[in-house]
Amino acid sequence: MGYDTHVLGGIPALLVTGAALFTYITMKGTLASRIILSLCLMAYATIFVTQQLGRIEMHFHVFVVFALMLIYRDWRPLVAATGLIGVHHFIFMYFQLTGVEFMGVPL
């Protein structure tokens, strides 16, 4: 990775993967599954950005997720994922302005 943030990203990624698998197995084909899986995809984007300390290249994953959501042909997962990334930006902007660190990594 280059920034020694393997654990910082690995643990949340395992949790998101577990949530996605559980959703896929138990709620396949429902609106709830589309929304939860969209949120999981966007959560991966936030993990990538955090692991790479905000590098702009990692932000492109957000746009890839938006494009992938076209498969659902439903506006609701897109709105949910957009809300998640918006909240993430506001929270992490506050963290950056106040110098918050987690596991020795600036958020």
Q: Are 14 and 52 in contact (CB under 8 A)?
A: no
Is residue 1 pLDDT above 60, yes or no? no
Which residues face 86 on adjacent strands?
none
pLDDT at 56: 87
Nearest to 41 by CA among 66, 70, 58: 66
Buried b (16+ CB within 10 A) or exposed e, 78-103: bebbbebbeebeeebeeeeeeeeeee
Whole-model pTM: value is 0.86
Query: Residue ranges of the alpha helices (H) in 1-68?
Result: 6-27, 31-51, 56-68
Share above pLDDT 90 across residues of the chain, in percent, rounded to a whole number: 55
